[in-house]
Chain A
Amino acid sequence: MATEPLMLDEDEIVLSELADDELVEQMHEDLYDGLKEEIVEGTSILLGRDWSAEKVLNEALVEGMRIVGIDFRDGILFVPEVLLAANAMKGGMEILRPLLSETGVKPIGKMVIGTVKGDIHDIGKNLVAMMLEGAGFEVFDIGINNSVEDYFEALEKHQPDILGMSALLTTTMPYMKVVIDEMVSQGIRDDYIVMVGGAPLNEEFGRAVGADAYCRDAAQAADTAPRLVRVHRAGGTVGA
């Protein structure tokens, strides 16, 4: 029984022959399976059928990743699978992004993320970046050991909605405040949402350093980020 190949007729599926709703459904499945080429193809097909970029984004990709997110949270999907799904999503996003900006639709969001100065822990940060990409964000990961200057340079260059900082050491997490204080003194604090995380932090610490949100894990970050971006764009204060 175990020798029987699992996929039989799936191989036969020709995306372009599916009706819209079937195709969207299939794209949800393909995202779940992390099939980048298929997602790229599906995205192009829908666009070719005169779907707006925004509609493809929301109905095919974001909805598909929402399902992935649920099953990740419930422990059904594993990290490497979510990584593949996020990568497939990224493939679709690369096609949609220029179209979205042409039509004046705001992207879901952009984020600059990095681990603070003196700190080289990055496993958690990488997971957060992955989950946000999965949620449709454009993520600029500036790596580890970032000084105020590094963060500012990245903000300048990428103009993100969110600045994300990660720290795993009690000796480095206070540096988040150094960055935020500098944003305040340069008068750019309110231009960005600041999100922080890392195992030794907590809600209270997040507030104390003046961040807008502390997230305990990657799933919560992926939940919180789009929400904060919506509020921020609507001109609201996002702080806790």
Chain B
Amino acid sequence: MIDDPFPTRSAGRKRGGGRKARRGRTAVRAARLRGSVDEYAAWIERRIPCFEVLDAEALELIEHNADTVLEEIGIEFREFPRALRLFRDAGADVDGERVRIPRGMCRSIVQATAPREFTQHARNPKRTTIIGGDRTVLVPAYGPPFVHDLDRGRRYATIEDFRNFIKLTYMSSGLHHSGGTVCEPVDVPVNKRHFDMVYSHIKYTDKPFMGSVTHPERAADTVAMAMLLFGEDFVPRKTVLTSLINVNSPLTFDATMLGAATVYAENNQATIISPFLLAGAMSPVTVAGTLTQILAEALAGMAYIQLVRPGAPVVFGSFSAAVSMQSGAPTFGTPEPSQVLFGVGQLARRLGVPFRSGGGLCAAKIPDAQAAYEAANTLQTAALAGVNFMLHTAGWLEGGLSMGYEKFILDADQANMIAVLLQGIDLSENGQALDALREVGPGSHFLGCAHTRENFETAFYRSTVADNNSFEQWQQDGSLDAARRANGIWKQMLRDYEPPPLDPAIDESLVEFIDRRKSEFEDRDY
């Protein structure tokens, strides 16, 4: 009693599209092996509502409290007289390095000139992205001094690892942005590292990228290199860099970050002002208290940027985790920071600026079950919270201390799923599938009906890593767990990598610039 796999009932039915076109093995293999998401998607267009946890009254309360913090306690701008001057001129009360800002002032400064969304140009126009609105841009992890893979374990990152992660990101269609410090290349002298890092983002990928922030001069070098790439008159008019400025919470900005932020703002380049909070240590232990602090800090930072250059793109950043009250160690993927994330998304939208948060965060040391579930928690939360710029989407291990090769592959797979999830539900005629229901009717099955034949390739997300086979086949394939399978994938990707072409004249000018700048001062390791 074997069912006919392709019921002939439908064979004679007329459908739009007519006969199936010839493709042949080569074409099918090439298309199928590429992955399930359009290679050139420069962002995800969200078509589902954001998940919201606070009602209007609650939001007003948080906003009121944030203003109370700004007005009564104030924000410290350390060793950076320019910020003090600008705020004083704008009407704030400046006492030493403490800036107390009248109720509502930051909000009106930000709302007056900060763009609701902005375009970040990539050297390949097809990858030029828009940050803000209903879009989500996925970006690899940032900052880890170590890398981890199954073969070599955990070790300090090198410039080769740095290039590898740029290449892997380039080849991951679900990641729209090349990121910044995808790992920290400790084999290059500290004061010259940024040249090699920025150059790698230009050379090995054509996706948009982030600039150096560890010193104002390094930010200036980044801008100079961007000018060589995009043209000297293009850059001050257009945004080609989005860089990460962390607040030294609680309620403090330091000179390093302010210095770098100022350089970028002056050149009309985007900055992400990020209260990076480990609740319990850097902010109150409660969600509402943390939300208040995040809003106050982000408002002050974004207002500063607008005072430096009205209209310079700013992103409301938020990185929220908690510390273990038993050891002080950062924790990830737990429910309270998710609540914070949902709330900040709402606050950012009310303010009317793009919002950065999220990622595949975890405290796990290796790509194990903890890594997977913590990362899945934070990725889904960020996706549902309406994050526009999702830093740390792929690779993050160990609270950001380590960039994992296998973890990267697992996260990139999740990133692709997010794209599908956010697309929402297709309610077109094809989406409604009444044809299919009519055709198949009671009993039988849908595997071979016309509608399925038309849609099967893109109907369901196909994971690049998950194994859905029978136990026996899995065993035959070597009984590999997810991390082991990911291990094979990143190696294959690096073997297959081909660099996007870069104009040799531009390349030469960049190399020349780097050589000249590097020869201007001694190597220094701090």
Binding-face segment, A28-36, A118-126, A150-158:
A118-126
Distance (Å) between the CB of B407 and the closest chain A CB?
18
Which one, B248, B328, B526, contacts A218 given CB within 8 A? B328
The DSSP consensus for interface residues of chain A is loop
Binding-face segment, A19-27, A62-70, A173-181, A224-232:
A173-181
CA distance A118 to B525 in the complex (A): 12
Residues of chain A with a CB closer than 8 A to B282's CB: 123
Within 8 Å of chain A (Cβ to Cβ): is B267? no
| Closest partner residue, chain B, to A118 (CB atom) | B526
The DSSP consensus for interface residues of chain B is loop
The A-contacting residues of B in range 137-166, CB under 8 angstroms, are 145-146, 156
CA distance A200 to B254 in the complex (A): 21
Residue pair A78, B401 in contact (C-beta under 8 Å):
no
Distance (Å) between the CB of A143 and the closest chain B CB?
11
Which one, A75, A80, A117, A199, contacts B401 given CB within 8 A? A199
The digit string for B246-257, where 1 denotes a CB below 8 A from any CB of A, is 001000001010
Within 8 Å of chain A (Cβ to Cβ): is B190? yes
The digit string for A116-144, where 1 denotes a CB below 8 A from any CB of B, is 11101001100100000000000000000
- B side interface size, CB within 8 A: 23
Within 8 Å of chain B (Cβ to Cβ): is A16? no
Residue pair B145, A172 in contact (C-beta under 8 Å):
no
Residue pair A79, B248 in contact (C-beta under 8 Å):
no
Distance (Å) between the CB of B147 and the closest chain A CB?
12
CA distance A124 to B326 in the complex (A): 13
| Closest partner residue, chain A, to B329 (CB atom) | A217
| Closest partner residue, chain B, to A177 (CB atom) | B525
CA distance A77 to B324 in the complex (A): 11
Residues of chain B with a CB closer than 8 A to A170's CB: 145, 156, 184, 186, 190
Distance (Å) between the CB of A160 and the closest chain B CB?
23
Known: A177-B525, A199-B401. A79 touches B328 (CB 8 A): yes
Residue pair A75, B326 in contact (C-beta under 8 Å):
yes
Residue pair A118, B184 in contact (C-beta under 8 Å):
no
Distance (Å) between the CB of A120 and the closest chain B CB?
5
Residues of chain A with a CB closer than 8 A to B525's CB: 174-175, 177-178
Which one, B186, B214, B254, B278, contacts A123 given CB within 8 A? B278
Within 8 Å of chain A (Cβ to Cβ): is B458? no
Residue pair B325, A80 in contact (C-beta under 8 Å):
yes
Residues of chain A with a CB closer than 8 A to B401's CB: 199-200
* Chain B interface (Cβ < 8 Å from any Cβ of A): 145-146, 156, 184, 186, 190, 193, 214, 248, 254, 256, 278, 281-282, 323, 325-328, 399, 401, 525-526
Q: Apart from A72-B326, A118-B214, what 5 extra A-B contacts exist at CB < 8 Å?
A: A123-B328, A170-B190, A174-B190, A175-B525, A177-B525
Interface CB pairs A-B, < 8 A, 19 = A75-B327, A77-B326, A79-B326, A79-B327, A80-B325, A118-B214, A123-B282, A123-B323, A123-B328, A127-B328, A145-B254, A170-B145, A170-B186, A171-B190, A171-B214, A175-B526, A199-B399, A199-B401, A200-B145
